[in-house]
Amino acid sequence: MSRIEKKFNKLKSENKTCLISYITAGDPTISDTLDIMHTLVKSGTNIIELGVPFSDPMADGPIIQRACERALIQNVSCLHIFQLVKNFRELDSETPIVLMGYLNPIEIMGYEVFAKSAYDSGVDAILVVDLPHEEAGDIVNIFKKHKLESIFLIAPNTKIDRIKEILKYASGFLYYISLKGVTGATSLDISATVKQLQFINKSINLPLAVGFGIKDANTAKILSSNADAIVIGSAIVNIIENEQNNNLKINDKIKSLMNSIRLKLDEDLISGAKI
Amino acid sequence: MKTHLKKRLNDFNLIDYNYPDSNGHYGIFGGTFVAETLIEPLTDLRKMYHNLKNDSEFLKELYYEYDNYVGRPTPLYFAKRLTEKINGANIFLKREDLCHTGAHKINNTIGQAILAKKMGKKRIIAETGAGQHGVAAATVAARLGMECVVFMGEQDIYRQSQNVYKMKLLGAEVVPVTSGSKTLKDALNEALRDWVANVDDTFYIIGTVAGPSPYPELVRDFQAIIGREVIQQMQDINKKADALVACVGGGSNAIGLFYPFIDSESKMFGIEAAGNGLETGKHSAPLNKGKVGVLHGNRTYLLEDENGQIIETHSISAGLDYPGVGPEHALLKDLGRVKYESATDKDALKAFHELSRTEGIIPALETSHAIAYAIKLAKKMKKGENIIVNLSGRGDKDLNTVAKIEGIEI
């Protein structure tokens, strides 16, 4: 059983929603990222999505674009990220790690080399933002060969027949983009998203994660009744940007944001326990 | 077909040249590398275009605009004084600079705007480098009564202030792009981001033969009017096109000239911007110096570093200042059907003056790269042979740039 599957099973048995946190690797520095990863886990994160910085992140909003720019000024590459994951694994062998990024930095390494190094360093899955399943055949097979899972995105305008097609390639979980827009956008329509999630949940056999535009505990809570996992990204990266010169403050503020979301997600369990 | 021609086409694998395939691939190039939200609008666009491309009503409307609004056909002009001065092959100029708005770009924007209207979209967005495509998009938006937003790198806004003002006069909103290198590639990223957020009412008019499928195909088809006219015009004067020359940034004017000639005997030369020189690293020549990668929705040759990050490019001409190139050019390079050469900033400047003085035609700096190479080529070819240069745009927009380089205040 994969780390991701184990994690979802465990959370399910505890009746908890999976909390996925996104940060860009190397923002503001690689060593800060290692601290932040441990902080995220301590404050209720169940899966870490580690962004691979790219010079032209066309699906990301300004917050994550700037995170990429901060990482790239230091020339952060896949090799640094593999080392980072290795270091993280010294203290944490349980939390699944998903690398999320764009195809070009992977393609230039070669799919085989990338996949093998990723798995060897302790990565569990890959999400390539600009790789729809039509272009993904070879890559998904290579990932599979190296025991990496392939996370795919579905969007509000992805029709049900296409979702079924995507499921043939997807493993780990399915990531529902909750709005038509880039990461960190503001215009999330919660009731429409809930309806979509209910609809999609009926027809898939993988855990369903929802992300893009979820910034606070209340939104996370409402969506969690119809999703297996909630993804928080730009809200965390925003903290990193504001406190980029102060490692302690970054970790404190992230801790308090993520604790509040975790608490809200678990509130029924806690009040239930009191009875 | 003549036997020797058939053999040559066979050598190039061009006998069955029929690209893109049904998935938008040009061999290993092209494709649809976008985030999931853009799949539906791209699929809709592909279907709509394939239904309409042979539809007589659509073509009637398109050709009406070509004839009456764009000003087609454009002349094929024999550059007599330049030819005599070089004392080599004859140089003919395909005068796309005489199109409405001063460049070939409008051949494409008018086609895509008609598509947009047929798809019921009310808002047009576009990216622009030199501003020529932005002006051409703003122009057709005004012509068809549509809202228009143009994304332009801050760096380019500064270099091309006249075109910015033009777009505003035409009723478009110009959005400065401050991310990344603040040039064309970043404007493209920003336009894609806007499109993702507004897919329901917005049509994205891409200005070159790059981007996700079906853009490279439909932009090529709208620009191919250039080459088709040249074939007719050469027949009319009973001459053979021995060589074709065009500048290549994304490559829309070049593919427009080349495509109808692919199964002919004409030699073809695409000229990239060598900037300060191919060896200096400061250039915009992915076909000469790039590696295969994925950017802006398609696989093609790219200028990138060892980690797959896209690197900043340099060219005197904003329109060639792009780290990628259309996927069909990547294929034509690998097939050996087109030779991709280059011209430096200096070569282009020299050609800019040369054409102005000898023919009374001030070419765009982009186009000047093609002129520079054609002059070299004409010297090597025989007298009586014919070179067609795509004179893709006029130079009015570049006067400030050239004057500044030469220390002249205007």
Q: What is the pLDDT of residue B145?
A: 97
Residues of chain B neighbouring A54 (CB-CB closer than 8 A): 308-309
In which band, very low, low, confident or very high, does the pLDDT at B4 lie, cut at 50, 70 and 90?
very low
Residues of chain A neighbouring B311 (CB-CB closer than 8 A): 55
CB A103 within 8 A of CB A150: no
Closest CA in chain B for residue A108: B308
Tell if the CB–CB gap between B32 and A177 is shorter than 8 Å: no
Say if residue B260 is preceded by a cis peptide, omega within 30 of 0.
no
Interface of B with A in 168-207 (CB under 8 A): 179-180, 185-186, 188-189, 192-193, 196-200
Angle between helices A247-265 and A30-42 (to 10 degrees): 30
Is the pLDDT at B401 greater than 50, yes or no?
A: yes
Counting one residue from A and one from B, how many pairs have CB atoms under 8 Å apart?
Answer: 115
Number of residues in chain A: 275
Tell if the CB–CB gap between B39 and A155 is shorter than 8 Å: yes
CB A30 within 8 A of CB A2: no
Is the pLDDT at B105 greater than 60, yes or no?
A: yes
Residues of chain A neighbouring B306 (CB-CB closer than 8 A): 108
In this structure, what token pair is assigned to residue A262?
């975790």
Tell if the CB–CB gap between A56 and B186 is shorter than 8 Å: yes
Distance in angstroms (rounded) separating the CA atoms of residues B365 and A186: 42
Catalytic residue among B105, B121, B166, B185: B105
Tell if the CB–CB gap between B36 and A108 is shorter than 8 Å: no
Average pLDDT of the segment spanning B288-294: 98
Task: Name residues whose C-beta falls within 8 Å of residue B149's C-beta, 6 or more positions apart in sequence.
Answer: B123, B124, B125, B126, B172, B173, B175, B194
In which band, very low, low, confident or very high, does the pLDDT at B182 lie, cut at 50, 70 and 90?
confident
Tell if the CB–CB gap between B193 and A61 is shorter than 8 Å: yes
Catalytic residue among B272, B315, B392, B397: B392
Q: What is the pLDDT of residue A48?
A: 98
Q: From the list A55, A56, A180, which residue is nearest B199 (CB)? A: A180
Catalytic residue among A49, A124, A241, A266: A49
- Cross-strand pairs, B267: B243
State whether residue B310 sits within 8 Å of chain A by CB: yes
Residue span of the structural domain in which A56 resides? 3-271
In which band, very low, low, confident or very high, does the pLDDT at B155 lie, cut at 50, 70 and 90?
confident
Residues of chain B neighbouring A55 (CB-CB closer than 8 A): 180, 309-311
Residues of chain B neighbouring A159 (CB-CB closer than 8 A): 40
How many domains does chain A contain in total?
1
Tell if the CB–CB gap between B307 and A106 is shorter than 8 Å: no
Widest Cα–Cα separation across chain B: 59
Question: pTM of the entire structure?
Answer: 0.95
Indicate which CATH number applies to the domain containing A163: 3.20.20.70
Q: What is the pLDDT of residue B1?
A: 42
Query: Can you tell me the ipTM of this complex?
Result: 0.95
Tell if the CB–CB gap between A65 and B32 is shorter than 8 Å: no
How close does chain A come to B47, measured CA to CA in Å? 16
Interface of A with B in 108-147 (CB under 8 A): 108-109, 129-132, 134-135
In this structure, the number of other CB atoms found within 10 A of the CB of residue B144 comes to: 15
In which band, very low, low, confident or very high, does the pLDDT at B158 lie, cut at 50, 70 and 90?
confident
Percent of chain B with pLDDT over 90: 88
State whether residue A172 sits within 8 Å of chain B by CB: no
Q: What is the pLDDT of residue A189?
A: 84
Closest CA in chain B for residue A129: B35
Q: From the list A105, A107, A158, which residue is nearest B36 (CB)? A: A158
Is the pLDDT at B7 greater than 60, yes or no?
A: no
State whether residue A28 sits within 8 Å of chain B by CB: no
Q: What is the pLDDT of residue A269?
A: 83
Q: Is A218 helix (H, G, I), strand (E, B) or coil?
A: helix
Q: What is the pLDDT of residue A188?
A: 80
Average pLDDT of the segment spanning B173-194: 90
Q: What is the pLDDT of residue A271?
A: 67
Residues of chain B neighbouring A104 (CB-CB closer than 8 A): 293-295, 302, 304, 308-310
Q: From the list A77, A104, A154, which residue is nearest B36 (CB)? A: A154
A112 annotated active-site: no
Q: Which of A72, A87, A104 is nearest to A38 (CA)?
A: A87
Q: What is the pLDDT of residue B2?
A: 45
Q: Is A158 helix (H, G, I), strand (E, B) or coil?
A: coil
State whether residue A157 sits within 8 Å of chain B by CB: yes
Q: What is the pLDDT of residue B10?
A: 52
Distance in angstroms (rounded) separating the CA atoms of residues B146 and B12: 44
Strands B386-390 and B202-205 come out as unpaired
Distance in angstroms (rounded) separating the CA atoms of residues B307 and A102: 12
Residues of chain A neighbouring B28 (CB-CB closer than 8 A): none
In order along its 275 residues, chain A shows pLDDT tens digits of 999 999 999 999 999 999 999 999 999 999 999 999 999 999 999 999 999 999 999 999 889 999 999 999 999 999 999 999 999 999 999 999 999 999 999 999 999 999 999 999 999 999 999 999 999 989 999 999 999 999 999 999 999 999 999 999 999 999 999 888 887 777 788 888 998 899 898 889 999 999 988 989 999 999 999 999 999 999 999 999 999 999 999 999 999 999 999 999 999 887 655 44
Strands B25-26 and B29-33 come out as antiparallel
Report the range of poorest mean pLDDT among A174-183, B31-40, B65-74, B165-174. A174-183
State whether residue B399 sits within 8 Å of chain A by CB: no
Q: What is the pLDDT of residue A201?
A: 87
Q: Is A243 helix (H, G, I), strand (E, B) or coil?
A: coil
The pLDDT tens digits for B331-383 are 999 999 999 999 999 999 999 999 999 999 999 999 999 999 999 999 999 99
Amino acid at the residue B355: L
Report the range of poorest mean pLDDT among A122-131, B191-200, B382-391. B191-200
How close does chain A come to B227, measured CA to CA in Å? 32
Mean pLDDT of chain B: 94
